[in-house]
């Protein structure tokens, strides 16, 4: 199979497996999604979804959040890990939204990346899932699977994103990044598959005998 043929198979099979992939982080608008994505760094979506209702009961708008002391935010989100850094990010971006954006999350990638605690991946997720703008956020699952499937050399997350955007039609990006994440969790996890076990790995590389060592994100 050529790289293009592998990409075409992946797209078709994932569409069959996950025709309508749900957004894994619970939220009600762009602001609550932004906070949830920030909290999800090095934390499971399940844990984030347990903590955000507690946080959002206290404050679920930038205007309300700036009234909450940073120490209180830190205590609420402690189970998500990296609490001091994340609390600082939540407080800082909420203040920026109130002061510079009228309390509205901007549908602008470059603007989002200027917020405290918001990197390229977080901004991509918000653009994709809150605003429907074609984006391809690359997390550890996507970075690992793209290498196992021979779609990138995995030199960096930036390169993986670039390669995937080249291989797949823009109209597929928003659903596809979620489909890959779900497949990675359920069938091609870091320990559950080594490039020779799951259905897609075996279909793409039927003669592969050795495990694939994926470069980490």
- Cβ-proximal residues to 114 (8 Å cutoff; 6+ apart), any chain: 96
Catalytic residue check, 121 = yes
Residue 82, phi-psi category: left (phi > 0), alpha (psi -120 to 50), beta (remainder): left
Q: What is the DSSP letter of 67?
A: T
- Please pick, among 60, 86, 139, 163, the residue that the annotation labels catalytic: 139
Are 46 and 25 a contacting pair, CB within 8 Å?
no
Catalytic residue check, 139 = yes
Comparing C-alpha atoms, which of 171, 179, 174 is closest to residue 18?
A: 179
Are 38 and 124 a contacting pair, CB within 8 Å?
no
- Please pick, among 121, 163, 209, 216, the residue that the annotation labels catalytic: 121
Residues carrying an active site annotation: 121, 139
């Amino acid at each position: 199979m050529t790289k293009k043929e592998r990409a075409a198979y992946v797209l078709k099979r994932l569409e069959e497996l996950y025709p309508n992939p749900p957004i894994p982080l619970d939220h009600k608008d762009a602001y609550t999604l932004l906070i949830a994505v920030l909290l999800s760094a090095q934390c499971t979506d399940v844990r984030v979804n347990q903590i955000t209702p507690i946080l959002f009961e206290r404050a679920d708008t930038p205007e309300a959040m700036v009234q909450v002391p940073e120490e209180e935010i830190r205590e609420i989100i402690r189970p998500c890990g990296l609490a001091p850094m994340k609390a600082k990010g939540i407080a800082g971006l909420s203040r920026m939204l109130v002061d510079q954006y009228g309390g509205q999350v901007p549908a602008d990638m470059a603007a989002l990346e200027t917020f405290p605690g918001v990197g390229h991946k977080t901004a991509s997720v918000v653009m994709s899932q809150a605003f429907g703008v074609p984006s391809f956020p690359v997390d550890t699952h996507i970075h690992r699977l793209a290498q196992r499937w021979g779609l990138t050399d995995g030199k960096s997350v930036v390169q993986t994103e670039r390669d995937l955007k080249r291989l797949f039609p823009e109209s597929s990006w928003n659903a596809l990044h979620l489909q890959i994440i779900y497949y990675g969790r359920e069938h091609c996890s870091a320990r559950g598959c080594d490039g020779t076990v799951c259905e897609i790995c075996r279909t793409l590389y039927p003669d592969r005998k050795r495990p694939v060592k994926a470069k980490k994100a």
